Structure formats: C-alpha cells, structure tokens
Amino acid sequence: NAGVMQNPRHLVRRRGQEARLRCSPMKGHSHVYWYRQLPEEGLKFMVYLQKENIIDESGMPKERFSAEFPKEGPSILRIQQVVRGDSAAYFCASSPRGQAAEAFFGQGTRLTVV
Amino acid sequence: QQQVKQSPQSLIVQKGGISIINCAYENTAFDYFPWYQQFPGKGPALLIAIRPDVSEKKEGRFTISFNKSAKQFSLHIMDSQPGDSATYFCAASSKDTSYDKVIFGPGTSLSVIP
C-alpha cells in the first residue's frame, strides 16, 4: 500500500508563474489536508478537502491560491502568480475519515520562487 | 487562543541522555495532543498521542506527560539515540463542527550526539 504521494518533490518557479502541486492520497483515503511549512515554523493548515468538496479553506490566502480534489485523480494545490513569499515546503496528508490528527503525510513539495 | 507554544527551539543531547520538549496551550476545547517526528526531507509522522483524561502515556522510549490544570504537556525521550535526531512537533486538536482541526507548535530540532 503506497503512502501519500506528492509531486513534484522540488519545484522552481519564476515570480509571476503558476505552481501546481499534486497529492495522491493513500488508497482508501478520501480526506486530504494541505499544510505549508516555512523554515523554523510549524505546519500551518491551509485547506481540508473531501472528494469533490472543500470542507475548510480557512487557512488559505484569499487570492492566488486554490485547491481541488476531483472525483478522479489527485488533489491539486494551485498557486497563481507566485511571489517570493510563497517559497516553502507544502505538505499534504490524507486520512480515511475526518481525523486530521491521525492523517498520514506525504514527503512534501519544496517550492522555490526565484 | 488557537496557538500551541513549544520550547526549546533546538536541543542537543548526549547519546543515552533524556530529551525533554515542552508545550503549552490555551484553548481548553483541545482534546487530543499528538506529537510528530520529522526527518530532513520527509513529511511529519505521528509518533505518540495522548488525551486529557490521562496524565501519562508511554510507548517504548517515548513518554508524554500531561498536566491538564497547567495546560501543558511534554515529550520525554529516554536513552536518546543519534537516530532520534529530527524535528519534533507537538500539536493539539479538537472536534470543530465536522472534523478535528490540528494546530501545530513551531517545532524543536533535536540533535543527539554520540
């Protein structure tokens, strides 16, 4: 049973470009959570999705950021018109039920904006 | 009130020693307190967790001590080993409408030296 798969592992984007981060949850998991981690900081919650639904996006910036979890395929975190401050590690986690504290994490995507 | 405080920021311990990481919270609605371990380049992994109805939980060399009245909890790593070198995050969660949102502390970087 493969774990939570995130790709790409590393992503470099120029300011103003778009970044697409993908997350394939563990088999049987229909709940996905996205977090952002800055150096010397803990993980900050961004968004919680179930299949085809956004349950809680209270941690997501109102502009330029969006997330989806379609019926088929991975969850996508999309950042439009990236800025230097978006440089961070982005982690997704998945769980079979709405229990974020027991979710399994992927290895993260490290986004660098140059 | 949603914050989880964690100290120290970094910790160096001799092999065989005891590593102690402390956390504190304000929100009395928190009812689940997990600890995560993160190795460089990897995602966090759930290490051990406790609920406020017990004062201590032990799993192998890892022990959580919980003080409900002081709203504090700590992780003790006995007989620390170089392989324990990692970043440790305490966290807290509570049932919030339909799911348990997790709030992470800022992390402690532990180095165990031979």
CA atoms of B113 and B84, how far apart (whole Å)? 10
pLDDT at res. B97? 56
End-to-end CA distance of chain A, in Å?
36
- Cβ separation of A40 and B107 shorter than 8 Å? yes
- Average confidence (pLDDT) over B54-82: 96
- Average confidence (pLDDT) over B81-98: 88
CA atoms of A96 and A67, how far apart (whole Å)? 19
State pLDDT tens for residues B75-84.
999 999 999 9
Residue B98 has pLDDT above 70, yes or no: no
- Average confidence (pLDDT) over B80-98: 88
- Average confidence (pLDDT) over B49-66: 95
Alpha carbon separation from A81 to A63, A64, A86 (Å, rounded): 10, 7, 10
- Cβ separation of B98 and A98 shorter than 8 Å? yes
Cα pseudo-dihedral A90, A94, A98, A102, rounded to 10: -90
pLDDT at res. B101? 85
- Cβ separation of A100 and B93 shorter than 8 Å? yes
pLDDT at res. B38? 95
Q: Residue B34 is inside which H or E element, if any?
A: strand B33-38
The 10 Å Cβ neighbour count of residue B17 is 14
At B33, is the pLDDT very low, low, confident or very high (cuts 50, 70, 90)? very high
Q: Is B34 exposed, middle or buried (0-12, 13-18, 19+ CB in 10 A)?
A: buried
pLDDT at res. A23? 98
- Average confidence (pLDDT) over B2-29: 95
- Average confidence (pLDDT) over B49-78: 95
Residue B95 has pLDDT above 70, yes or no: no
Q: Provide φ and ψ at B46, rounded to 5°.
A: -60, 130
- Cβ separation of A42 and B106 shorter than 8 Å? yes
> Each residue's pLDDT tens digit in chain A (114 positions)?
579 999 999 999 999 999 999 999 999 999 999 999 987 778 999 999 998 899 999 999 999 999 999 999 999 999 999 999 999 999 999 999 888 888 999 999 999 999
The C-alpha of A86 sits at a distance from chain B's nearest C-alpha, in angstroms, of: 18
At B1, is the pLDDT very low, low, confident or very high (cuts 50, 70, 90)? low
- Residues of chain B whose beta carbon is less than 8 angstroms from a beta carbon of chain A are 4, 6, 9, 32, 34, 41-46, 49, 89, 91, 93, 98-107
Q: Which residues are within 8 A (CB) of B22 and not within 5 positions of it... i.e. 6 or more apart?
A: B6, B7, B8, B72, B73, B74
CA atoms of A91 and A76, how far apart (whole Å)? 12
pLDDT at res. A42? 84
CB distance B44 to B109 below 8 Å = no
pLDDT at res. A1? 55
CB distance B80 to B96 below 8 Å = no
CA atoms of B101 and A99, how far apart (whole Å)? 8
Alpha carbon separation from B41 to A38, A80, A92, A100, B90 (Å, rounded): 13, 25, 14, 21, 19
